[in-house]
Amino acid sequence: MENSVDNVRSQMRKGVLEYCILCILNRKEAYASSILEDLKSANMIVVEGTLYPLLIRQKNQGLLSYRWEESTQGPPRKYYCITEKGRAQLREMDLAWQEIVETIKTIKQ
Amino acid sequence: MDEDAYARLTAYFDHFKALLDKDTQSAKEEVMTDLENRIAELFDQGIGGASYRVVNLGLVTRVVEQLGMPDGSKEPETFTSDKASEEREEARTSDNPQNGGPDFTYSGGSGTAKRRLFRDLDNKVIGGVCAGLAAFLNVDLTVVRIVTLLTLLLYGTGFLVYLVLWIVVPVAKTPADKCMMRGFEPTAENMARFSGQRRNGYGK
């Protein structure tokens, strides 16, 4: 029982993770570890290893773009930002999210 | 880099890659490059704070735990001591016959690319001019300092020259600068070696 709850929970997280990333990048440009910090401070538990493949996938879908920025410590960093296509998708996701919230609300009544 | 640490990291890369099979080859490579860069950054931070300058197993384990797997799952525990020693053997024969693994510790500048004059704040006493000159000329830092002091005592012109260089010569700020200062091509690998690390022991 415990296990299946955990499973559902992690599935839910996975489902909204891409949405979360688009939301964060809609506000500002960011590189992977700062996106991660934002997610963590919002109680979204992910590891960096999850983030990198997702970012690349979203970039290849044309939702994100990036630029290199040199850092004073360590190798250059990839700063991601949202594209027009990404914004359009975000708007649709906003709607979808509203729908889900409404659905749950209605059912629970 | 320690041998066991290298084996641990190799195992981690294998596990990580195995979980990326959904993606295309180019996307996979891109993810791995990002991951490697991030690891270089974390190693750098881990090394910079401590007195040791070697990537050891403890550091690798910490970094690997922080990064985790692509699907957020636990890393499969196939890392046995057997495999470790096997990979260790491999590393010894292929990568670096003297050290048994890629050497991440820094040992003086010996690059062959064209050098550029920068001020080296990592090894500075006053403005990093001597340290920058030493890297530029590929001479021991102490020699440059003694010569500088001599010109100061004998003619006093050394003071003026130092002041001018201090004002004119730029600081080696980015890892790319630090590579060029020591005559290394500013590749990602080289940059990772020189980036932001305190080299207090160097040249003294």
pLDDT 10s digits, B9-57: 888 888 787 777 666 777 778 888 888 888 887 777 776 655 556 677 7
Task: Read off the DSSP letter of residue B139.
Answer: -
- The more confident residue out of A6 and B104 is A6
Distance CA B142, CA B126 (A): 14
pTM of the model: 0.53
Chain A positions with Cβ closer than 8 Å to B? 10, 14, 32-33, 46-50, 52-53, 55-57, 60, 70-78
Given a contact cutoff of 8 angstroms between Cβ atoms, the answer to whether B118 and B171 are in contact is yes
Domain locations in chain B as residue ranges: 3-94, 121-194
Lowest-confidence pick of A26-30, A84-88, B174-178 = B174-178
DSSP letter for each residue of B13-55? HHHHHHTTTTS-HHHHHHHHHHHHHHHHHHHHHHHHHSS--S-
Distance CA A100, CA B196 (A): 47
Please say if the pLDDT value at position B165 is more than 70.
Answer: yes
A23/chain B closest Cα distance in angstroms? 21
pLDDT for B120 equals: 86
Nearest to B196 among A32, A55, A72 (CB): A72
User: What sign for the dihedral angle of Cα B61, B67, B72, B75?
Assistant: negative
pLDDT for B81 equals: 44
pLDDT 10s digits, B111-163: 666 788 888 888 888 888 888 888 888 888 888 888 888 887 776 777 888 88
pLDDT for B203 equals: 39
Given a contact cutoff of 8 angstroms between Cβ atoms, the answer to whether B70 and B20 are in contact is yes
Please say if the pLDDT value at position A105 is more than 90.
Answer: yes
Domains by residue range for chain A, with CATH: 2-108 (1.10.10.10)
